[in-house]
């Protein structure tokens, strides 16, 4: 997914998250967030407002901030505070060219575009969290979903575990399908003891996990639910291992 399209999606996700916060707070503030153990909806909204602020400040200052606003002032409306954080992030990112050099936490992408992509996925993920907390239906743009699977594998699984992978060497094939047998994109991943191998012969995979783009996205990010199922064919233990490793990488 190209950066201009990701910026459009970021704008959409920020607006939709703000609408959800407006509609559900404060009445649903204490509803648990299923994918985030111990977190409730009000804390999720605060977290998103904080993440948007730290990313915006990081871009502006050229380094990871040591302090930033992590919660609204006493008496401030939480949903409005979160909305202001999203608006500030959009202003910061749109005032800069996506290819402009910028401090990030990626060794391979040190541009403003990194933050556009990362924040689009972060905001989409937590919008889905909010929907699941209040039992509301949700969807994710198919192109954003497939890019989100790629980000989970390449940026998180591929870098965050270092040499402490502890994989068994079983290969997992992930296939995002548009339905009617139409393949959108697929990945083959083999977690080894000290690294993760990408690619290889898909036919040699120990297990294949298939689903609509949003369903496969939800699976890779630990947000699966009954309305977004995946189909697992082969060694279910290999699929469970990859899901556990993704969970560790995403902490």
Structural domain span for residue 219: 142-249
- Clarify whether residues 91 and 118 are in a common domain: yes
Structure-derived torsion over alpha carbons of residues 233, 236, 238, 241, reported in degrees to the nearest 10 = 130
Specify the residue for token string 């594998």.
Answer: 153
Is the overall model pTM greater than 0.85, yes or no? Answer: yes
Q: Is the C-alpha dihedral spanning 85, 28, 251, 121 positive or negative? A: negative
> Is pLDDT of 173 > 70?
yes
- Clarify whether residues 43 and 161 are in a common domain: no
Residue-wise pLDDT tens digits, 96-114: 999 999 999 999 999 999 9
Residue-wise pLDDT tens digits, 63-81: 999 999 999 999 899 999 9
Among the candidates 72, 106, 133, a domain finishes at 133
- Clarify whether residues 188 and 71 are in a common domain: no
pLDDT value of position 181: 59
Q: How confident is residue 179, by pLDDT bands cut at 50, 70 and 90?
A: low
- Clarify whether residues 194 and 237 are in a common domain: yes
d(CA 164, CA 159): 10
Number of folded domains that form the chain: 2
- Clarify whether residues 212 and 113 are in a common domain: no
pLDDT value of position 71: 97
> Are 72 and 52 a contacting pair, CB within 8 Å?
no
Nearest to 168 by CA among 202, 191, 201: 191
Among the candidates 113, 133, 153, a domain finishes at 133
- Clarify whether residues 7 and 128 are in a common domain: yes
- Clarify whether residues 147 and 37 are in a common domain: no
């Amino acid at each position: 997914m190209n950066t201009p399209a990701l910026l459009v999606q970021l704008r959409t996700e920020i607006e939709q998250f703000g609408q959800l916060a407006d509609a559900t707070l404060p009445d649903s503030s204490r509803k648990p967030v299923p994918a985030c153990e111990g977190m409730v909806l009000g804390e999720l909204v605060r977290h998103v407002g904080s993440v948007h602020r730290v990313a915006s400040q990081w871009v502006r200052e050229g380094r990871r901030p040591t302090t930033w606003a992590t919660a609204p002032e006493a008496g401030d409306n939480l949903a409005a505070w979160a909305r202001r954080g999203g608006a500030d992030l959009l202003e910061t990112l749109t005032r800069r060219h996506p290819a402009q050099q910028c401090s990030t936490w990626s060794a391979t992408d040190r541009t403003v575009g990194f933050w556009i992509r990362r924040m689009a996925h972060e905001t989409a993920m937590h919008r889905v969290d909010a929907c699941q907390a209040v039992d509301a239906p949700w969807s994710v743009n198919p192109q954003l979903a497939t890019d989100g699977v790629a980000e989970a594998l390449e940026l998180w699984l591929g870098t965050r575990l270092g040499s402490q992978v502890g994989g068994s060497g079983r290969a997992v094939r992930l296939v995002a399908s548009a339905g009617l047998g139409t393949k959108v994109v697929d990945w083959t991943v083999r977690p080894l003891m000290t690294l993760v191998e990408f690619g290889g012969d898909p036919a040699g995979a120990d297990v294949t996990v298939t689903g609509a783009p949003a369903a496969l996205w939800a699976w890779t990010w630990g947000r699966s639910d009954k309305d977004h199922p995946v189909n697992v064919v082969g060694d279910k233990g290999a699929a469970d291992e990859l899901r556990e490793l993704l969970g560790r990488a995403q902490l």
